[in-house]
Structures are given as C-alpha cells and as structure tokens.
A and B are shown apart, each in its own frame.
Chain A
C-alpha cells in the first residue's frame, strides 16, 4: 500500500506558466482534497471531491482547477501561475465519515512549488 502519492515533490515555475500536481491513492477512498500550507496560515482547503465526477470548492479555490475522473486520481491544475501560489501543497484522502464529514485524512508527502 503506497497510500497517497504526490508528484512532483519540487517544482519551480515562471509567472504565467501552467502545471498539474498529481495525486493518487490506492486505498479506495471516496474523499480526496487539496490543501496549501503557508507559514503562519496553517492548511487551507483549495478543492475537494467526494467521489468520481464530483468536485467542489474549498476556502481558496481561485487560480486552481481540479477534476476527478477516477476514484484513484485527483490532479490539481494551476492555470496561470502567480508568485502568490508559492506554497507547499498537500493532497489528502479519506473514507469519508459514516455520518458525513471527512473522517480521518491520510496525507501525501507534499509538493513544494515556487513561482518566480
């Protein structure tokens, strides 16, 4: 069981470039999400998905796009990178709680993105 796998681990972009952060999980989790971690800001939810074909916005969705075509994969796309998107990005997944909610999240190792 690899758990949650994110690629790449490090990336440097120029302003205006686009890229995709990949996230895959092999635990058959229905719920997947993307967070960004910034110093002094904690983790902030970007987008999430409760199953294949279903996505929704989190707290800070602007400038990011997601899709969920399979249960396993949940890529995060930066459409036109800006320096404000310099951050560490975490993908997380869970079974999703039986009474609703997220349940215990399992995290990837993180992807450190720098936008120049």
Chain B
C-alpha cells in the first residue's frame, strides 16, 4: 500500500528564513509526487510536481528515491507563503488513487 508521511503538523518560521517541509513516502514502484497548497479562503491548488522540475513561487522539491523523500524547500520564506501544504503520491498506471499526507501548516512570521 502507498503511504505519505508529513512528520510536522505545524511549522513556524520568520520571514526571510529558509523553510523545509518534509515529505516521506512508502511505495515500491516509481511514483509521481506532488505538492499541493491551500491558502486561507482559497481552493487547494497544485504547487509543483516532481516530473516538471520547476521552481514555483521560489519553492523547489527534489525526489530522492534512495531516501523515499520529496521535501519542499524555499531559501527565503515570505509571509504570503503561510498556508497548509500537502504532499501527495500517485502510483500511476491504472491505480487512479492520489494519496495525500496529513498536511503541514506553515506560518511565516513577520
């Protein structure tokens, strides 16, 4: 069974500090990993996906298959980054079940 673990429920940093939101997964095949974000009073939306290898809003995430991790990083946090972040795993193929972690609430203090 596939599983996504986000070990931190809450993460608080100061503006300008680096931030790292951790995500570990359990899956024996080659998954696709995503980060979704939910800003206050907005819809859940895709932040980035590992296959695109893009940097969105200054965030990056690298898939580490050896450590089965997909941590989200940003070198300098901004107050507008405060939101709930979800890591998600898609095993692909005919298994159309995107599995989400429990989420990390990031607060960036001024």
Q: Which residues of A contact B (CB under 8 A)?
A: 31, 33, 35, 40-45, 48, 50, 56, 58-59, 90, 92, 96-97, 99-105, 107-110
Contact = CB atoms under 8 A, between A and B. Distances in A.
24 contacts: A33-B96, A35-B100, A40-B9, A42-B6, A42-B101, A42-B103, A44-B100, A48-B97, A59-B97, A97-B90, A99-B92, A100-B92, A100-B96, A101-B90, A101-B93, A101-B95, A101-B98, A102-B97, A102-B98, A103-B90, A104-B49, A105-B36, A107-B44, A108-B43
B97 A58 contact: yes
A58 B99 CA distance: 10
B32 A45 contact: no
Contacts of A92: 44
Contacts, number: 67
B12 interface: no
B41 to A, nearest CB: 9
B96 A42 contact: no
Interface in B46-72: 46, 49
B92 to A, nearest CB: 4
Nearest to B102: A42
Interface residues of B, number: 25
Given A101-B91, A108-B43, 19 more contacts: A31-B96, A33-B98, A40-B9, A41-B102, A42-B6, A42-B86, A42-B102, A42-B103, A43-B86, A45-B97, A92-B44, A97-B32, A97-B90, A103-B90, A104-B34, A104-B46, A104-B49, A105-B46, A109-B43
Interface of B: 6, 9, 32, 34, 36, 43-46, 49, 86, 90-103
A56 B97 CA distance: 10
A107 B92 contact: no
A76 to B, nearest CB: 16
Contact of B92 (A59, A97, A104, A105): A97
